[in-house]
């Protein structure tokens, strides 16, 4: 199974400068996807999750355009070909649907 994780600018240096990481794994949830990502890029762990393993307050994680805060948290299912977005929390601004192309580099 393949999942693409998109990283914001501030985290890219912790993943070798990559804006996205394609994971080939059997991960079925966001938690498992993040664990696979952290195994490849351990420095990301402390920036994305806290000591208890929960997503940090100032970090948002989306599967496609849905925030995991509203879809089951780290237990949110991740299917084949899913796109996971890790984003810093911000207030105001543009709707996510309009922001996704920019995050993908389009």
Please, what are the domains in the chain? 2-103 (3.10.20.30)
> How many other β-carbons are positioned within 10 Å of the β-carbon of residue 100?
16
Whole-number average pLDDT of the chain: 89
Residue-wise pLDDT tens digits, 3-34: 999 999 999 999 999 999 999 888 899 999 99
Q: Cα dihedral angle (85, 91, 96, 102), rounded to 10 degrees?
A: -70
Per-residue pLDDT, 101: 63
Q: What is the pTM of this model?
A: 0.82
> How many other β-carbons are positioned within 10 Å of the β-carbon of residue 96?
16
CA–CA separation, 97 and 66 (whole Å): 10
Per-residue pLDDT, 1: 78
More confident residue, 91 or 59: 59
Angle 42-54-24 from CA coordinates, rounded to 5°:
45
């Amino acid at each position: 199974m393949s999942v693409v994780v998109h990283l914001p600018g501030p985290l890219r240096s912790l993943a070798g400068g990559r804006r996205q990481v394609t994971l080939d794994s059997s991960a079925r949830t966001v938690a498992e996807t993040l664990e696979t990502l952290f195994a490849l890029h351990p420095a990301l762990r402390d920036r994305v999750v806290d000591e208890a393993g929960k997503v940090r307050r100032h970090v948002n994680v989306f599967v496609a355009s849905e925030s995991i805060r509203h879809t089951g948290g780290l237990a949110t299912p991740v299917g084949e070909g899913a796109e996971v977005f890790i984003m810093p929390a911000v207030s105001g601004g543009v709707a996510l649907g309009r922001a996704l192309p920019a995050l993908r580099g389009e």
